[in-house]
């Protein structure tokens, strides 16, 4: 087991700086000084996030027969969140420091830098004067309706709309238990100390599945979903050895949960949660049945059994996974040229299916009209299938490096061989250069789309 306290702030700083420099992630409202805990994804970040969400949807909904998708409202009725327990109890323990007026999460003091003296943690300087912990509700409330006298909340998780629509989905889709409902969407929490870049934000996205099942199957399905989710992380490029499974012990789980696994990743700032896989029993449907006064009981036509379905919930954070992808992909490789000169190459080693740009397309000489024409035509033929980037600025070596830095797995160069200037054998072929090995091979232009598609899906 890796040490939970192993951190590498220098590596994290480089990742944050690359994210800004190359347009992955910016602080929201930066122009005006920044909105704490909120982030904007720039062009490459938006592609990366979209690739993650699309792949999750494909694996969870499209390629399964037993999971349906939905897309619920962000604004949530007060009554829904009263029933779910969020209005009364969705809180973290908070302490105030009377000296510096800062607020901290009481359960994170040992990792929260003191505002006055960041070299020590909150409470550790003799000047610190911390209050007793108090509950701080994390929900963001808004006023609603023409007169603004109704209360609504920005949802703190996507799950509640799934529970509330469980019966509508069941009745309108002729599905049978076991089945799941999946959703990707924004959630909002007024976190006391947003930090570690996008890891703990006030606005973030979740990818959640509520899998409804017979009470006898809950425990088994929790283990099956855990395996399913670990497989998913492998497929997006997060190796199993960097993931840790925390079997949350009795007393630390939510009171209604019979089993909870936290899937954690070795971030440069420590081992932290990426996803929770929780067996929530029939707690959720139970509270909404009671709160709404309507039956949510399921009738099994075959066994003639009536029961309130149990739920297994794999709940992943989209932004946290994007951050894990960036941390995992970031690499600095020392290269030595023929003259023995050393140089550091920055590479994002994304698996191709996650890479924001799949292929860079370069004419060897930007002044050669024929090379440019062929590049543009290759670009057009690939654009319906994948993100491509045309670049004719500077030496080809430099262009490769720029693509390495944003994780583009393949670069295509059109050169004099493509034009047939060195014989017919290489006419209408291009050089494909591989990001990780930097090796090059010749491929016929016609063969390029299927060759690439096979590697980037
Ligand atoms: P934590 O203990 O880190 O606050 P949590 O256990 O409260 O997280 P859940 O309520 O289980 O989180 O939410 C499911 C997932 O949503 C988390 O595993 C995480 O990936 C994501 N998530 C939760 N809170 C945040 C946040 N403030 N910023 C970004 N992602 C979040």
**What's the residue count for the chain?**
457
Mutate to test the pocket of ligand 1, among 320, 324, 325 (most ligand atoms within 8 A of CB): 320
Give the integer Cα–Cα distance in Å for 276 and 205.
Answer: 14
CA of 47 to the centre of ligand 1 (A): 22
Q: Model confidence over 298-314: pLDDT tens digits?
A: 999 999 999 999 999 99
Q: What does the alpha-carbon distance between residue 69 and residue 347 come to, in Å, rounded to a whole number?
A: 35
Q: Is 200 in the pocket of ligand 1 (CB under 6 A)?
A: yes
- Chain-centroid distance of CA 306 in Å reads 38
- pTM for the whole structure: 0.94
Is the distance from CB of 388 to CB of 357 less than 8 angstroms? Answer: yes
In degrees to the nearest 10, what's the CA dihedral of 275, 276, 277, 280? -150
**Cβ 349 vs Cβ 236: under 8 Å:** no
Regarding the beta carbon of 313 and ligand 1, being less than 6 Å apart is answered no
Residue 196 Cβ contacting ligand 1 at under 6 Å: no
pLDDT at 5: 59
How far apart, in whole angstroms, are the C-alpha atoms of residue 108 and residue 123?
11
- Note whether 205 and 318 are within 8 A (CB): yes
- The H or E element that residue 222 is part of is helix 218-235
Q: Cβ(195) to ligand 1 under 6 A?
A: no
Q: Which of 136, 276, 325 to mutate to test the pocket of ligand 1 (most atoms within 8 A of CB)?
A: 276
Name beta bridge partners: 413. Answer: 362, 431
- Cα 326 versus chain centre, distance: 10
User: pLDDT value at position 2?
Assistant: 52
Question: Is the Cβ–Cβ distance between 363 and 414 less than 8 Å?
Answer: yes
CA of 352 to the centre of ligand 1 (A): 27
Q: Is the CB of 270 under 6 A from ligand 1?
A: no
CA distance 205 to 323: 12
Atom 23 of ligand 1 has which residue's CA nearest to it?
317
Of 99, 350, 71, 301, give the one whose Cα is nearest residue 207.
Answer: 71
User: What is the whole-number distance in angstroms between the Cα of residue 448 and the centre of ligand 1?
Assistant: 41
HSE, CB side, 13 Å, CA atoms: give it for residue 68. Answer: 19
Q: Residue with structure tokens 């929790």? A: 222
Predicted local confidence at residue 3, as pLDDT? 57
Tell me how far the alpha carbon of residue 319 lies from the centroid of ligand 1, in angstroms: 10
* Non-local CB neighbours of 339 within 8 Å, separated by 6+ positions: none
- Report how far ligand 1's centroid is from the alpha carbon of 145 (Å): 30
From the alpha carbon of 273, which atom of ligand 1 is closest?
18
Residue minimizing CA distance to atom 20 of ligand 1: 317
Sign of the CA dihedral running 230, 237, 358, 440: negative
| Structural contact between residues 400 and 433, judged by C-beta atoms closer than 8 angstroms | yes
Q: How far is the CA of 163 from the centre of ligand 1 (A)?
A: 19
Cβ–ligand 1 distance for 45 under 6 Å, the answer no
Q: To the nearest 10°, the Cα dihedral for 56, 279, 173, 186?
A: -50
Measured by CA distance, the residue closest to atom 18 of ligand 1 is: 275
- pLDDT tens profile 146-157: 998 999 999 999
Tokens describing residue 226: 């855990």
- pLDDT value at residue 1: 45
Ordered per-residue pLDDT tens for the chain, 457 residues: 455 556 888 999 999 999 999 999 999 999 999 999 999 999 999 999 999 999 999 999 999 999 999 999 999 999 999 999 999 888 888 898 888 888 888 888 888 888 788 778 888 888 888 888 888 889 999 998 899 899 999 999 999 999 999 999 999 998 999 999 999 999 999 999 899 999 999 999 999 999 999 999 999 999 999 999 999 999 999 999 999 999 999 999 999 999 999 999 999 999 999 999 999 999 999 999 999 999 999 999 999 999 999 999 999 999 999 999 999 999 999 999 889 999 999 999 999 999 999 999 999 999 999 999 999 999 999 999 999 999 999 999 999 999 999 999 999 999 999 999 999 999 999 999 999 999 999 999 999 999 999 999 9
Long-range contacts of 17-22 (CB under 8 A, 24+ apart): 18/330, 18/346, 18/348, 18/405, 19/45, 19/197, 19/326, 22/405, 22/406
């Amino acid at each position: 087991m890796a040490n939970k306290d192993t951190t590498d702030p220098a590596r994290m700083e480089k990742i944050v700086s690359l994210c800004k420099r190359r347009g992955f992630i910016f602080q929201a409202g930066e122009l005006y000084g920044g909105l704490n805990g909120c982030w904007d994804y720039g062009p490459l970040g938006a592609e990366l996030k979209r690739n993650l969400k699309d792949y999750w949807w494909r694996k969870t909904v499209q390629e399964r027969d037993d999971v349906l998708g939905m897309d619920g409202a962000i604004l949530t009725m007060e009554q829904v969140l009263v029933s779910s327990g969020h209005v009364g109890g969705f809180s973290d323990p908070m302490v105030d420091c009377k000296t510096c007026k800062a607020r901290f999460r009481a359960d994170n003091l040992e990792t929260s830098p003191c505002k006055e003296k960041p070299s020590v943690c909150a409470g550790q300087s003799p000047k610190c004067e911390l209050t007793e912990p108090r509950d701080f509700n994390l929900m963001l409330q808004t006023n609603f309706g023409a007169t603004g006298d109704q209360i609504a909340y920005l949802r703190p998780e996507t799950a509640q709309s799934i529970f509330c629509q469980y019966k509508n989905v069941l009745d309108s889709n002729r599905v049978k238990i076991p089945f799941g409902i999946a959703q990707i969407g924004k959630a909002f929490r007024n976190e006391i100390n947003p930090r570690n870049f996008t890891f703990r934000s006030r606005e973030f996205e979740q990818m959640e599945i509520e899998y409804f099942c017979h009470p006898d199957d809950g425990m088994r399905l929790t283990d099956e979903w855990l395996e399913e989710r670990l497989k998913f992380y492998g497929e997006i490029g997060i190796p199993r050895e960097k993931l840790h499974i925390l079997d949350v012990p009795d007393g630390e789980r939510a009171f209604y949960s019979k089993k909870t696994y936290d899937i954690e990743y070795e971030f440069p700032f420590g081992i932290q949660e990426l996803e929770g896989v929780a067996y929530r029993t029939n707690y959720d449907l139970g509270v909404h049945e009671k709160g709404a006064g309507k039956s949510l009981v399921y009738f099994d036509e075959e066994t003639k059994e009536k029961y309130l379905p149990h739920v297994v919930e794999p709940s992943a954070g989209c932004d946290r996974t994007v951050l894990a992808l960036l941390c995992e992909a970031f690499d600095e490789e020392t290269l030595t040229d023929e003259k023995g000169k050393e140089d550091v190459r920055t590479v994002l080693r994304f698996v191709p299916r996650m890479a924001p740009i799949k292929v860079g397309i370069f004419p060897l000489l930007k002044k050669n009209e024929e090379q440019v024409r062929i590049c543009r035509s290759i670009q057009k033929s690939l654009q319906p299938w994948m993100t491509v980037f045309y670049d004719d600025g500077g030496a080809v070596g430099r262009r490769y490096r720029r693509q390495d830095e944003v994780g583009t797995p393949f670069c295509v160069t059109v050169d004099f061989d493509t034009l047939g200037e060195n014989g017919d054998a290489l006419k209408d072929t291009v050089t494909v250069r591989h990001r990780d090995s930097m090796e090059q091979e010749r491929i016929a232009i016609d063969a390029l789309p299927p060759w690439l598609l096979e590697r980037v899906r």
